[in-house]
Copies of this chain bind each other. A is one copy, B any other.
Amino acid sequence: MNIHSLFEVWVENRQARKERLAAERTEQILRAATRVFSQKDFHEATIHDVAREAGLADGTIYLYFRNKRDLLLNVLTRPYSALLLAALGGAEISGEDDRSLLADILRRGVTMALANVDTIRFFMSAMQEVDDQVRAEAFRNLFQVGTIFEEYLRERIATGAFRPCDPVIVSRAFFGMFMIFILGQEVMMGKNVAPMPYEKVIPEVVELFLTGVTSPKDPAR
């Protein structure tokens, strides 16, 4: 290795180091912004709030984001699905019988949702601020999580355990059955309302999902 290639390595390192630092700052700001935006509405949160939360000066934000809106867009289109999956605890779907499995998934979902009510609220309110494209991008990220469940459905249908149905629709419907309680009880009503306890909700939802409402004895079946 001669002096020239050493120099090149050094240049590369400098360059790489710079990029790494910039990426870290960006990440640092995004984390702070997510925290701030989760607590105050976008319009009520000030750049100063974000800067303070990030431990930076106001002006520094603008070295990494064109403006406040741009910052919001970047917060919204971060790969949340990864975070969600992580939060869902790997969410490996396997093993147990369907009833336990589905209940397990829902229980993890509830836990995660409860821990992130602020963020969910932020997402919902921020949607208003941005254009269709960003909204779609953000939402696609979220729906990503659903694909794992679709896979599970496909397998169960293939083995004949589940009847033929559209896995995408059914997967989302399952998600909806559960999400309505999160939205209604946690995101919307807060602590002011006696909610349905999840120990009751989860079995009902699982049963509904597996067997529907129709009575087994129903001749129309």
Of the candidates A169, A174, A193, the one having the most CB atoms from chain B within 10 angstroms of its own CB is: A169
Nearest to A38 among chain B residues (CB) is B128
Contact of A68 with B by CB under 8 A: no
| Complex Cα gap A62–B170 (Å) | 49
Question: For chain A residues 186-205, which have a beta carbon within 8 Å of chain B?
Answer: 187-193, 196, 200-201, 204-205
A209 → chain B closest CB, angstroms: 6
Contact of A125 with B by CB under 8 A: yes
Q: Is the CB of A180 within 8 A of B188?
A: no
Give every chain B residue within 8 A of A215 (Cβ-Cβ): 160-163
| Complex Cα gap A184–B146 (Å) | 12
Q: Which of A3-11, A14-22, A87-95, A129-137 participates in binding chain B?
A: A129-137
Q: Is the CB of A135 within 8 A of B212?
A: no
Q: Is the CB of B128 within 8 A of A124?
A: yes
| A: interface residue count bin | 35 or more
Q: Is the CB of A165 within 8 A of B221?
A: no
Q: Is the CB of B127 within 8 A of A127?
A: no
Of the candidates A143, A179, A189, the one having the most CB atoms from chain B within 10 angstroms of its own CB is: A189
Q: Is the CB of B180 within 8 A of A176?
A: yes
Give every chain B residue within 8 A of A122 (Cβ-Cβ): 128
Q: Is the CB of B189 within 8 A of A135?
A: yes
Q: Is the CB of B192 within 8 A of A181?
A: no
Contact of A64 with B by CB under 8 A: no
| Complex Cα gap A119–B143 (Å) | 23
Give every chain B residue within 8 A of A12 (Cβ-Cβ): none
| Complex Cα gap A218–B220 (Å) | 18
| Complex Cα gap A139–B181 (Å) | 12
Identify which of B161, B188, B189, B204 contacts A214 (C-beta below 8 A): B161
A196 → chain B closest CB, angstroms: 6
User: Closest 6 interchain pairs by CB?
Assistant: A176-B180, A132-B190, A43-B43, A125-B128, A212-B212, A211-B212
Residues of A within 8 A of B (CB): 41-44, 97-98, 121-122, 124-129, 132-133, 135-136, 138-140, 143, 153, 156, 160-163, 165-166, 168-170, 172-181, 184, 187-193, 196, 200-201, 204-205, 207-218, 220-221
